A and B are shown apart, each in its own frame.
Chain A
């Protein structure tokens, strides 16, 4: 109780300190945004160097900064006088500006526009743990790389790329979401322009819900994330969308056999831009026409991203964003043993206000509305002894207010403070039997409203020329049961030399919203459920230790990282749950457990030149233990992978001929296989004896190893004064039949005897595709 009072006191103290920061005055500072002069898009990571009086590049600058993820920079502690500012960003013409500080203002706003260089310089494709960033386990991805990689649908996508990184697993060819360092998909916090997306993936990770065309910047933090992020146990995917070009109206339209897309962007007025993009996939239509005997689930989706950006002044930018996606998966007519119909839908609306005050404090305020609906109706063998049905229909509605403040108060110290306030409404419906009347029954299911509040502080410091720290903490309040939690976050790096950096991190994280899944069903069965009196908040404790090295003028980077993650208060459905929507027994159907994940990741990344790419390798373990699963014994989670190897290569020849190649090798997925068969008579109802299988544990067997080579070749050329791009994409080049499922079936022998054998399903063999793009 005492701890709770102290936590509340610190919570409010920090809340007030944000306002105090706002009023802070001190030395003179220079700040502003760095943008592309043609499109208006922000240039993340731009280097700004300050020289005194005159430019002498033989001498080191007196100070400097790098533009953050908003394209914002701030250089504090300047005295009155004349300065020369050098602004550099790869692929852009270097800009030189003279800055005179007269002392009549605390902060001088110098926003900068850079012009693209005619000849593209060396390209940084993946910036893995750059030495100037003290964030451990972080990988930044530029959209440029996406265009070079092969994909199944023909359209490049972020999630395909993320699954190639060490520490990120692919659960199966039809699974959705990211499996990061042994964590389940719900344990990854996905933010799009600062707004949470509950389900960021389309089925099978064929694509993410945000159109890759709209991406500006992507950051994946695989573990021990800093205090500015919270609410999930394992990892963070932070995505920034483009604002739209201010140059002129542009359109992109694509039509394909299984999916199509369109994107439009341009200026609205001199100070505002828009961007809208959408996709539709109609894979189910193609299946029904060309592949009627297929047992692959029928599937379609569409999504829409839109953003309007207003630059009110040099220090005030407002954007309004919207995201809508809808997925539908249902059983093909060839499948009669089961009947399933699953839909999910994301709706996100947000207002984002970015402002810089007179003391160079960057303030980011977000108001958002989030609605996530999910519906899963699954029936199995409706007339047989094994019959059961499952129906869940969670409907989540959130109102979020979020404010983040960032102040570079000293050239070696940046302070970040922020708070989140959220009003959640969880309208949960579930049943063993689906009936339309259930959806209208006000007494069916559960309706839970909760208030969630969190406050964080984060200090990023360069303590000495060798030591950098990122220290912070996050306080959480969850209103349903007045849970109060504190999460310390510590990250430290030590530079032995500029090219050898040792990093370590420790983090505690909580998750108040659980994704309860059925471990016996491969299809999505999501039931999001908040922490209550009986359902404790999930908790993770993470440790990371790593070493970064850079070679050959930083053309190559090699990283090795070890991680350990302990997860407590995880929840799953117990075996054969009974879902009665009219009583209060739903929480009896859950079983509490814990998990552990640990491993080592190796990452060799070639960052510069025409030939780029990486080799990633992960050695890891992931285990779970639940009171009412597997007789309480520890078992390997389904996404436990002992070995996971990935090779990604991209080669550019004269800027018009590109080759992309990916190869993955991973230990086979774990699954459950019975070690014997027996004959048993149905109890009570009579009938003849039936062969049954003696399952003795969860995930006791493994599929064969998964490996696959994909290839993409593209060639750009001019014809009749138009630009063309032709490409060939080959999925699964050597036609590896990777196992999607293995299960026991009874095969009838010539003598009429039934023999239990193992049947294997492989989904996607060799699939070549080709396309041509015309730009005019």
Chain B
């Protein structure tokens, strides 16, 4: 093949390195105050109280003294019958005058009033999860368990390894649920990190299944919206988190959580 014309072309980029810049910028931030509610009710333990705080603007350090709300009127109703007032203690935490234990299967309702804002939530304390079998999946190194499902509950699981001090997953991988009362669902853990797979850890894998109020499912699958992600290429969805407390500009969880037994997985 003959080439009559050949054009050569060269490019010299003189200033190429150090392309991108990162800087902290002053952005005019819009602040909207929301009331934040949190309570985790675990059967067999004392009622822990309910924490009421307000959101704070960005650009300031978070200080619980600035965030706590002291003037809320709040009470609990148990199984639609028993009413227990909650009293401010410290750091936005409201507790009953006398401690009492949380019981499986009971229904707890939260009523609160803050100025003209009304807050309501309801949760049913799940029964202890009935695990029928467990196993280890070597494909991506996770544990899983089969659980007898109940329709008002969802299930999640954590892996644990222990030689001396127990080490366990920091987060649930997923939640499982069923619309059928007597079905079995499979719930899995996140993958066990490579460093805990071999050697002394290999024979010490355990799984703990949690049963949670069914409203946890919606929260779990939208919770990333509220998280910090340190990457410019992957950013928060911004879609509102689905909380289980109701009220105008109110967010938070008032939720029953029942941990199951820790089971060794072979």
Contacts and interface: CB of A to CB of B under 8 A. Distances in A.
Interface of A: 153-154, 174, 248-258, 261, 264, 286, 290-291, 294-297, 335, 337-338, 340, 378, 380-381, 383-388, 432-433, 435, 437, 519-523, 575-578, 629-631, 671-685, 687, 691-701, 737, 740-747, 749, 751, 753-776
Interface residues of B, number: 92
Given A575-B237, A675-B57, A683-B216, 19 more contacts: A291-B16, A291-B17, A384-B170, A435-B139, A576-B224, A680-B252, A682-B170, A684-B156, A684-B212, A685-B171, A687-B170, A694-B226, A695-B226, A695-B239, A698-B239, A741-B233, A758-B24, A763-B20, A767-B13
B25 A696 contact: no
A757 B20 contact: no
A575 B61 CA distance: 29
Contacts of A631: 239-240
21 contacts: A251-B6, A255-B10, A256-B10, A257-B16, A264-B3, A294-B19, A521-B235, A577-B221, A674-B58, A674-B236, A675-B30, A675-B31, A678-B251, A684-B156, A693-B228, A701-B30, A758-B29, A759-B22, A761-B20, A765-B21, A775-B5
A771 B255 CA distance: 66
A154 B170 contact: no
B237 A576 contact: yes
A771 B12 contact: yes
B18 interface: yes
B235 A676 contact: no
A573 B208 CA distance: 31
Contact of A776 (B6, B58, B238, B253): B6
- In this complex, the member of A380, A383, A677 whose beta carbon has the largest number of chain B beta carbons within 10 angstroms is A677
Given A291-B18, A685-B169, A743-B229, A575 B7 contact: no
Contact of B11 (A257, A386, A685): A257
A761 B21 contact: yes
B163 interface: no
B226 A693 contact: yes
B228 A672 contact: no
A745 to B, nearest CB: 6
A671 B25 CA distance: 15
A433 B140 contact: yes
Contacts of B54: 678
A684 B257 contact: yes
B77 interface: no
Given A521-B233, A672-B236, A252 B5 contact: yes
A771 B11 contact: yes
A770 B224 CA distance: 46
B59 A759 contact: no
Contacts of A380: 229, 231, 234
Contacts of B61: 749, 751, 753-755
B180 to A, nearest CB: 16
Tell me what chain B mostly uses at the interface: helix, strand, loop, or mixed.
Answer: loop
Contacts of A250: 3-5
Interface in B241-256: 241, 251-253, 255
B78 interface: no
A286 B234 CA distance: 24
Contacts of B4: 248-251
Interface string B60-83: 111010010000000000000000
A93 to B, nearest CB: 23
Contacts of A758: 24-27, 29, 58
B156 to A, nearest CB: 7
B210 interface: yes
A249 B4 CA distance: 6
Interface in B183-235: 190-191, 193, 210, 212, 216, 219-235
A435 B18 CA distance: 35
B179 interface: no
B174 A578 contact: yes
B9 interface: yes
Contacts of A256: 9-11
Given A575-B239, A695-B226, A746-B228, A676 B56 contact: yes
Nearest to B158: A685
Contact of B7 (A630, A700, A757, A773): A773
Interface stretch (B32-40, B96-104, B105-113, B145-153): B32-40
B165 to A, nearest CB: 15
B59 A756 contact: yes
A254 B7 contact: yes
Contacts of B22: 295, 759-761
A388 B226 contact: no
Contacts of B162: none
Contacts of A759: 22-25
Contact of B8 (A153, A701, A773): A773
B239 A386 contact: no
